[in-house]
Amino acid sequence: MCDENLYVVDINIDKDKSIEEIDKIRQNLIDTLPTNVGLVKTALGGLHIYCNRNYYRLPSIRNVKVAVTDSFDINIFAQMNKYKIENGKETKEIVQNRVVAPNTAIRETKNNQLISHKNEAINDWENASCLASLREKLDKWNIDIEMSYKDYAQNKHD
């Protein structure tokens, strides 16, 4: 799969909830997903869902809080262009988006102690040849943030 086809749906579960509640919310979300998505439990208990763009036209590479519930927020991140675009022209500067990879750790210092938070792969999706489409997942959640083709083409041109 090409980089521009990979999208990450970032689920941030309310941190004020107990660990048991967070686990239950995350599991309920997982139970609604098709089996051919990548799943990573984030260091803070959230969920990253990796899926295929499948021609879905997002308004931006960073779509924050496309849906907000009492329990969680949904963000969508994408690598739509390899190079930054300035004044309608591609530059040589590569666009960098940092996403959580499965089975990695984030380290931070709190109270002079180094703390490591792990991002755990939930399923074995790294060898999957065909990830589920973003459109399929968003349709199931009744979320539509897709741009019209006219706006998308204009955005690419600007």
Confidence (pLDDT) at 82: 64
Return the CATH number at 16.
3.30.2250
Confidence (pLDDT) at 98: 58
Comparing 62 with 79, which gets the higher pLDDT?
62
Q: Which domain covers residue 136, as residue numbers?
A: 3-157
Mean pLDDT across the chain, nearest whole number? 80
Measured between alpha carbons, how far is residue 75 from residues 3, 12, 138 in Å?
18, 8, 11
Output the CA angle 99-102-105, nearest 5 degrees: 80
> In 3-147, which ranges are continuous DSSP H helix?
19-31, 134-140
Confidence (pLDDT) at 95: 65
Torsion of CA 144, 149, 153, 154, to 10 degrees: -80
Residue 45's region, left for phi above 0, alpha for psi from -120 to 50, else beta, is left
Tell me if 30 sits within 8 A of 39, measured CB to CB. Answer: yes
pLDDT classification of 1: cutoffs 50, 70, 90: very low
The domain total for the chain is 1
Q: Dig out the tokens for 56 from the structure.
A: 């879905």
pLDDT of 5-35, one tens digit each? 788 899 999 999 999 999 999 999 999 888 8
Helix (H, G, I), strand (E, B) or coil at 146: coil
Segment 121-137 mean pLDDT = 80
Cα–Cα distance measured from residue 7 to residue 28, given in angstroms and rounded to the nearest whole number: 21
Cα–Cα distance measured from residue 52 to residue 8, given in angstroms and rounded to the nearest whole number: 9
